[in-house]
Structure 1
Amino acid sequence: MINFNGELLFEENVKLSPENRGFKYGDAIFETIKVSNNRVVFWEDHYFRLMSSMRMLRMKIPMKFTLEFLEQEILKTVAAQDSDTSFRVRLNVYRRDGGLYTPKTNKIHYFIDAKPNTYVTKDVYIVDVFKDFYNYSGLLSTIKTNNRMVNTLASIFAKENELDNCVLINENKGVVEVTNANIFILKGNVVKTPAYTEGCIKGIVRKKVIEIITKNEAYSIEETTISPFEIQKADEVFITNAIIGIQAVTNYKKKTFTTSFSDKISKSLRVLEVTTS
């Protein structure tokens, strides 16, 4: 079942117009959200990121789009599924039909799709750099818009080369993220992750991991510029998103990484998942 503007519909009954702006122009944003045991994980963070993105893209936020309203719409959608497992939920918001590049209205439609979360952390996880196209730096790249062509092409490249993921770089050859997650590297007692100015998504779990590391006096955290060469010199590398939590990277080019630090952070994150709204 799909939640289309508050109405639960079977997938085959959901009809989008040829004038849909998300389809024609990528004029849409989305949140990928984990729901576990009928609980929307890190919901407040997702909600405020969504509101910030809508404001940045000049979408008109409906009065009813409160924290409580959207949470209930998500849970209503999950309750309509034929499963009681953990869910991967996509909340999509797009500008209503009409106009060319200039829209006729800034009012929005939304739909919510829920699928069972089947991701299992891998013991061996291999990544390499995708060099064909850049993920350009700048604030617009930090928003989860429907325009994900670089991510799509990098994912195809990874599949063709028997990789689990690819590192995306920007026009300055700096590391941005991987195709579906933020990236962290550990060297000694210093943890680094690309700064927002590099063009990385404002990840919810990225934020939580930074909070966890900041509270650990044995390590320091830097949001900065990272070169692909630094990945190869790192002691550990891991990636983060709302669905996988933390996935340790074990192999990059000819380098093999340990995973003890990322394992510890993953345990701390699981505690936060059940104690933070």
Structure 2
Amino acid sequence: MKEVKFSTYNKELIPVNQKIFSSKNRAFRYGDGLFETMRSAHHEVQLINQHTIRLLSSMRLLKMEIPFGFNAAGIHQEIKRLLSVNKIFGAARIRLSVFRNDGGLYTPKSNTPSFLIECEPVQNEHFKINEKGLNVDIFTDHKKAKTVLSNIKSINCLPLILAGIYKKENQLDDVLICNTEGNIIEGLSSNLFIVKDDIIITPPLSDACVGGIMRNEIIQICKKEKLALLEQSITQEDILKSSEIFLTNAIKGIQWISAFRDKRYLNTIPKILVRKLNEKVFN
């Protein structure tokens, strides 16, 4: 894989190993920030408008100031410049981190933000379904609270880090996250869909799942293709009674689950959806 040499910090190109933070950095001290993960191919960022809308909405929720000109066109231009400098011409994963500037304790001195854009190449230019299905289980040690903050991509990710450790310790491919009511709401870094009685079901945002860009795209595709879809809470019993389960995110698109404990699943609907997704995004 190609070595990445540069990142972008507040529109300035910097070497990836250059130190840019002090010990007073609010992202380091308080987890005071958020991030957006995007995917590009040939310097075109997929679903850039949707990513920007979510990012700006999350910044407003966190009471961060939005700089003049910080919009989809400006973000896209900065990403293109970074990809070009790093000579990444195929597919890439982009992370845009936003954090409040230094100053203050729990009460910030100001609400002005800084921005860091990082990139790395990925293999597939189009979305491709996993050949081998994922083996998953449920992580119940820590649960997400049902608040609007649970819908954003916060850099404060301790529960998910612990879930990732659980996944590694139990030799799983992914884990399913629960909310405080015990409903299953998402994967480690993805939204959750199940197929039960020929109906596609995904948890509502009110259940505390992240407001995923790919989640919304799949919902729109299902509506266009007239596939039966419901947004409703999912229980462990629903998981066990489902015929298919899959996860979605902006980088991998759709990943199907083949096993939950002793239960096995099909992948008919994920195959259909990944084809429709590629048609929508790349045509």
- Whether 1:154 and 2:159 are equivalent positions in the alignment is no
Cα pair 2:38 2:94 within 8 Å, conserved: yes
Cα pair 2:133 2:255 within 8 Å, conserved: no
Equivalent residue letter for 2:209: C
Equivalent residue letter for 1:190: I
Q: Which residue of 1 aligns with 2:69?
A: 64
Indicate the percent of aligned positions where both proteins have the same amino acid: 34
- Whether 1:109 and 2:114 are equivalent positions in the alignment is yes
Q: Which residue of 2 aligns with 1:262?
A: 270
TM-score (norm 1): 0.96
Cα pair 1:43 1:71 within 8 Å, conserved: yes
Q: Which residue of 2 aligns with 1:271?
A: 279
Equivalent residue letter for 1:255: K
User: What is the CA–CA distance in structure 1 between the aligned matches of 2:142 and 2:131, rounded to whole Å?
Assistant: 27
Q: Which residue of 2 aligns with 1:225?
A: 233
Provide, for residues 160-196 of structure 1, a one-character-per-residue CA deviation record: whole Å limited to 9, x for no partner.
Answer: 1111000000110011101110000001221110110
TM-superposed CA distance for 1:28, in Å, is 0.5
User: What is the CA–CA distance in structure 2 between the aligned matches of 1:141 and 1:122, rounded to whole Å?
Assistant: 31
Cα pair 1:232 1:253 within 8 Å, conserved: no
Cα pair 2:43 2:90 within 8 Å, conserved: no
User: What is the CA–CA distance in structure 1 between the aligned matches of 2:247 and 2:204, rounded to whole Å?
Assistant: 15
TM-superposed CA distance for 1:82, in Å, is 4.1
- Whether 1:174 and 2:149 are equivalent positions in the alignment is no
Secondary structure of 2:53's partner?
Answer: helix
Given candidates 213, 226, 241, the residue that maps to 2:222 is 213
Structure 1 unaligned segments of length 5 or more: list them.
none
Bigger mean CA offset, 104-113 vs 77-86: 77-86
Equivalent residue letter for 1:176: I
Provide, for residues 67-120 of structure 1, a one-character-per-residue CA deviation record: whole Å limited to 9, x for no partner.
Answer: 211110111111121433311000011100010000000001001000112477
Structure 2 unaligned segments of length 5 or more: list them.
1-5
Given candidates 214, 230, 245, the residue that maps to 2:253 is 245
Given candidates 54, 72, 75, the residue that maps to 2:80 is 75
- Whether 1:50 and 2:55 are equivalent positions in the alignment is yes
Query: Where do 1:118-133 residues align within 5 Å?
Result: 118=123, 121-133=130-142
Equivalent residue letter for 1:86: A
Given candidates 13, 38, 58, the residue that maps to 2:43 is 38
Cα pair 1:58 1:106 within 8 Å, conserved: yes
Provide, for residues 183-225 of structure 1, a one-character-per-residue CA deviation record: whole Å limited to 9, x for no partner.
Answer: 00001221110110110111001000001111223x3111111
Q: Matched residue pairs, number?
A: 274
User: What is the CA–CA distance in structure 2 between the aligned matches of 1:216 and 1:240, rounded to whole Å?
Assistant: 18
User: What is the CA–CA distance in structure 2 between the aligned matches of 1:181 and 1:228, rounded to whole Å?
Assistant: 18
Q: Which residue of 2 aligns with 1:235?
A: 243
CA RMSD for the aligned pairs? 1.2
- Whether 1:5 and 2:10 are equivalent positions in the alignment is yes
Secondary structure of 1:18's partner?
Answer: coil
Bigger mean CA offset, 117-126 vs 266-275: 117-126
Secondary structure of 2:177's partner?
Answer: strand
TM-superposed CA distance for 1:255, in Å, is 0.7
Secondary structure of 2:276's partner?
Answer: helix
User: What is the CA–CA distance in structure 2 between the aligned matches of 1:118 and 1:242, rounded to whole Å?
Assistant: 14
TM-score (norm 2): 0.94
Q: Which residue of 1 aligns with 2:3?
A: none
Cα pair 1:122 1:247 within 8 Å, conserved: no
- Whether 1:201 and 2:210 are equivalent positions in the alignment is yes
Equivalent residue letter for 1:7: E
User: What is the CA–CA distance in structure 1 between the aligned matches of 2:213 and 2:152, rounded to whole Å?
Assistant: 12
TM-superposed CA distance for 1:122, in Å, is 4.3
Secondary structure of 1:266's partner?
Answer: helix
User: What is the CA–CA distance in structure 1 between the aligned matches of 2:80 and 2:87, rounded to whole Å?
Assistant: 13
Given candidates 97, 101, 117, the residue that maps to 2:102 is 97
Secondary structure of 1:197's partner?
Answer: helix
